[in-house]
Amino acid sequence: MKSLIAAIRFITVLSVGKYRVFEPKGMIPYFPIVGILLGGMVAAFDNVVGQMWSVPVVSLLDVIFLVFLTGAFHLDGLGDTADGLLSHRSKERALAIMKDSRVGVMGLVAIVCALSIKWAGIAGIEDHRSMLLVIIPAYARGGMIAGIRFLEYGRADSGIGRDFLGERLKFTAFAGLLIPVFLSLLMGMKALWLNGWFIVSTLAILRYYRKRMGCVTGDMLGAMVEFLESILFLISSTGRDSMI
């Protein structure tokens, strides 16, 4: 349980457990499970506020609630990553820009776009709304495991990501992703659509990171979460089985 508690405390604002624990390697397989926890809370929140407001308003509140639960942790990484990678500078300069705590124009634009896409996606979900709110945050956080497993850490001498990316992960670290995959099967054929987009999107991000930087950082992992969450909510908003 210590590793699960460590994962919850690391990527959420939830204060669980009596003591603060930090187990970088141990917590990684639990990222999708933390995503399930976050998604379950958002789904419950969605059902409650859905009794009072319209779908667009409820969807906006869902996005805000998710930001609150994570303390904007991944959004911060998205902003820093956008500032660095979209600056068209060298790898070394991009890493320096990402380390700067200030948010630039590209970072701000990326954050606004991600939140807007996420809101539009959630607002457009017609079928399996609660299920998608539960499992998509799990998929998004599971994507970080792929980044940790297949990319080298970009900062040799500093950064919190060094604790996570120091050694090559075993494939058993992906076991937690089986939970959202199995839950998705309850949606029937739409599960193929969702899982296919998750795989393609994750591979696309990894390819871009490898081509642009040849490495990954903690900020870039956070950006992965926000990108995957946004794209998966967006493609789930179709509600039309004919597209599967």
Q: What is the reported pLDDT for 239?
A: 53
- The percent of residues above 90 in pLDDT, for the chain, comes to 67
pLDDT digits (tens, 9 = 90+) for 89-116: 888 899 989 988 888 899 999 999 999 9
pLDDT digits (tens, 9 = 90+) for 126-178: 889 999 999 999 999 999 999 999 998 887 666 565 666 666 788 888 999 99
Higher pLDDT, 238 or 13: 13
What string of DSSP letters covers 71-85? TTHHHHHHHHHHHHH
Closest residue by Cα to residue 73 from 160, 174, 4 = 160
Mean pLDDT over 112-122 rounds to 97
Instruction: Say if residue 86's pLDDT is above 60.
Output: yes
pTM tops 0.85: yes
Distance CA 187, CA 199 (A): 18
pLDDT digits (tens, 9 = 90+) for 180-205: 999 999 999 889 999 999 999 999 99
- Looking at every residue in the chain, the average pLDDT score rounds to 89
Q: What is the reported pLDDT for 21?
A: 66
DSSP state of 213: T
Q: What is the reported pLDDT for 242?
A: 40
Mean pLDDT over 37-53 rounds to 97
φ/ψ of 216, rounded to 5, equals: -145, 155
Q: What is the reported pLDDT for 178?
A: 95
